[in-house]
Chain A
Amino acid sequence: MVILLHPRDNVVVAAANLAAGSIVDVAGESLCLAQAVPLGHKVARVAIGAGERVLRYGVPIGTMRAAVKPGDHVHSHNLDSDYIPPTRREGPDPTKGSQ
């Protein structure tokens, strides 16, 4: 129900809409989802600290703003781009200054 795209990755991708409390298998180890995770979204495979890089496809896709535990949803609320902030429906993020 989740996909590990590269052995080095510290996140996995949901292959279906998964409920909170779901137990999923990742490379022979089980992971319990702390929150509901929609199809295509990411889940922490291991504990990741604030300031640590997130790896998907074996390469960095950004840096954690807040620490997460295994099974936590990893998304815009705790992960930032190392390049350019994304477009938001509500306009620029007021916490990000004038970029």
Chain B
Amino acid sequence: MTTPGHFQGYLRPDGRKGIRNVVLVAYLVECAHHVARAIVTRTDDPSVQLIGFPGCYPNSYAFQIMQQLATHPNVGGMVLVSLGCEGFNRQGLADIVAASGRPVETLVIQQAGGTRATIDAGLAAVARVRKAAEKVDMVPMALSDLVVGTICGGSDGTSGITANPAVGVCFDRLIDAGATCIFEETGELIGCEQVMSSRAITPELGDEIEKAVAKAERYYATLGYGSFAPGNADGGLTTQEEKSLGAYSKSGHSPISGLIKPGDIPPGPGLYLMDVVPDGEVRFGFPNITDNAEIVELIASGSHIILFTTGRGSVVGSAISPVIKVCANPDTYDQLADDMDVNAGRILRGDATLDAVGGEIFDLVGKVASGEPSVSEALGHQEFILTYKQFEAVGPACLPTAARR
């Protein structure tokens, strides 16, 4: 037994520590998806997981996210599956994974003899990479080594009263313990920009936060819609700003230490806002086409664990990092209890306080970090999606603590 908040982690050569030791099989274009999936399915090991990028045309954002996932502390090795003619820089990615000290192998379907031969070669490659990945050192790890991300999906009128503020309570406790926490989706924070900027650790960071939300508003206005699904309205939410205020409560009450973009690793502990809305003119469609696109970005920025609040009832998990489900709505919990880790709806029925549920989530973070599977993880949920985007690097005002070093 270990003491709560202290557990064993996988030490990576860059000094970061992981809570899982996943081997990734990545397709580098949709044309290689079937072969990569067959390799993962036939390996039939929950720690061998499928990710990939479907597009044939290269995209620096997608490459950056793939690179950050490949070198994520929860990842121990990788097998790349290429068709052969796509634009993805497979050699560049393989070089980065190898330079990170991880085992990596690349399969090119056009050179390996087609579907059947590549699947066979892939099964052997996965076995070799898995064996090499097992040689990692285990070291003591604490909550202060953790990066925890949060997202809400399928929000309703209860989300902003129960699950979201309960995650906020958990975030405050994690930050007090020295952890790093990330909240996100500036498009779902439209209407909260002033209150958020007042929590920034410097006025300049506050200005950057307000600019990021204004960018999100412009972006969504161009598309004609906010980040607001019909199910949100079924659940009692009427407007974007109402949904935003509920989503915002996930961030708790700690000062905001920085503004990052997908794939940026926070430079130190504390609370960070992730700006997920692309820069420049609207080019590739919706900022995030589904919740898992946001989860992938949180993981690419180093998140070991994702706290996912839901009112309507999402069932997803993720590749690479475990997802903990916090259900806001007691009626939804009754319907989907087998998919939920925490029933925050008890707050509405008078069966628990916000602080008690926040403490329950905090304790669960420690258990999942110690290796206990989250509910979605145990059910085999390993969703993954990555699409096209474009970003410019954040300026020094966005990360005041990094600038001071």
Interface residues, chain A, with chain B CB atoms under 8 Å away: 3, 5, 13-17, 38-42, 56-57, 59-62, 74-76, 79-89, 92, 99
9 contacts between A and B (CB under 8 A): A39-B236, A57-B245, A59-B191, A62-B238, A76-B233, A82-B239, A83-B239, A84-B221, A86-B233
State the CA gap A74–B233 with chains docked (Å): 11
State the CA gap A40–B156 with chains docked (Å): 7
State the CA gap A16–B329 with chains docked (Å): 10
Does any Cβ of A come within 8 Å of B220's Cβ? yes
Q: Out of A15, A40, A83, A85, which one reaches B235, CB within 8 Å?
A: A40
Specify which chain B residues have a CB less than 8 angstroms from the CB of A59 in the assembled complex.
191, 195, 245
Specify which chain A residues have a CB less than 8 angstroms from the CB of B239 in the assembled complex.
61-62, 79-83, 86
Pair B233/A42 contact, Cβ less than 8 Å: no
Tell me, rounded to whole Å, the shortest Cβ–Cβ distance linking A77 to chain B.
9
State the CA gap A99–B220 with chains docked (Å): 11
**B interface bracket (residues with beta carbon within 8 Å of A):** 20 to 34
Residue ID in chain B nearest A88 by CB atoms: B230
Asked, given contacts A40-B157, A40-B311, A61-B242, whether A14 binds B229 with beta carbons under 8 Å apart, the answer is no
Residue ID in chain B nearest A77 by CB atoms: B238
Pair A84/B220 contact, Cβ less than 8 Å: yes
Most buried by A among B160, B230, B242: B242
Asked, given contacts A56-B245, A83-B217, A84-B220, whether A14 binds B236 with beta carbons under 8 Å apart, the answer is yes
Pair B217/A84 contact, Cβ less than 8 Å: yes
Say what secondary structure dominates the interface of chain B. loop
Pair A87/B236 contact, Cβ less than 8 Å: no
State the CA gap A85–B233 with chains docked (Å): 12
Specify which chain B residues have a CB less than 8 angstroms from the CB of A85 in the assembled complex.
224-226
Q: Out of B157, B191, B241, B242, which one reaches A39, CB within 8 Å?
A: B157
Specify which chain A residues have a CB less than 8 angstroms from the CB of B190 in the assembled complex.
83-84
Most buried by A among B158, B238, B330: B238
Residue ID in chain A nearest B157 by CB atoms: A40
Pair B240/A40 contact, Cβ less than 8 Å: no
Q: Per-residue CB proximity of B147-188 to A under 8 Å, as 1/0?
A: 000000000111011000000000000000000000000000
State the CA gap A85–B176 with chains docked (Å): 38
State the CA gap A50–B191 with chains docked (Å): 21
Pair B238/A79 contact, Cβ less than 8 Å: yes
Specify which chain A residues have a CB less than 8 angstroms from the CB of B238 in the assembled complex.
42, 61-62, 74-76, 79, 81, 86
- Nearest first, the 9 A-B pairs at minimum CB distance are A40-B157, A40-B236, A41-B236, A84-B226, A61-B242, A81-B239, A86-B228, A62-B239, A89-B230
Residue ID in chain A nearest B237 by CB atoms: A40
State the CA gap A82–B245 with chains docked (Å): 14
Does any Cβ of A come within 8 Å of B257's Cβ? no
Specify which chain A residues have a CB less than 8 angstroms from the CB of B282 in the assembled complex.
none
Specify which chain B residues have a CB less than 8 angstroms from the CB of A74 in the assembled complex.
238
Does any Cβ of A come within 8 Å of B232's Cβ? yes
State the CA gap A89–B229 with chains docked (Å): 8
Asked, given contacts A56-B242, A57-B245, A75-B238, whether A87 binds B156 with beta carbons under 8 Å apart, the answer is no
Pair B241/A86 contact, Cβ less than 8 Å: no
Specify which chain A residues have a CB less than 8 angstroms from the CB of B241 in the assembled complex.
60-62, 81-83
Cβ < 8 Å to A, chain B residues 351-403: none
Residue ID in chain B nearest A81 by CB atoms: B239
Cβ < 8 Å to A, chain B residues 213-253: 217, 220-221, 224-226, 228-230, 232-233, 235-242, 245
State the CA gap A17–B241 with chains docked (Å): 24
Pair A13/B157 contact, Cβ less than 8 Å: yes
Tell me, rounded to whole Å, the shortest Cβ–Cβ distance linking B233 to chain A.
6
Asked, given contacts A82-B241, A84-B217, whether A57 binds B160 with beta carbons under 8 Å apart, the answer is yes
Pair A40/B158 contact, Cβ less than 8 Å: yes
Tell me, rounded to whole Å, the shortest Cβ–Cβ distance linking B89 to chain A.
36
Residue ID in chain A nearest B232 by CB atoms: A86
Does any Cβ of A come within 8 Å of B134's Cβ? no
Specify which chain A residues have a CB less than 8 angstroms from the CB of B221 in the assembled complex.
84, 99
Q: Per-residue CB proximity of B316-342 to A under 8 Å, as 1/0?
A: 000000000000011100000000000
Tell me, rounded to whole Å, the shortest Cβ–Cβ distance linking B344 to chain A.
13
State the CA gap A14–B241 with chains docked (Å): 19
Pair B217/A75 contact, Cβ less than 8 Å: no
Pair A41/B157 contact, Cβ less than 8 Å: yes
Does any Cβ of A come within 8 Å of B38's Cβ? no
Specify which chain B residues have a CB less than 8 angstroms from the CB of A61 in the assembled complex.
191, 238-239, 241-242, 245
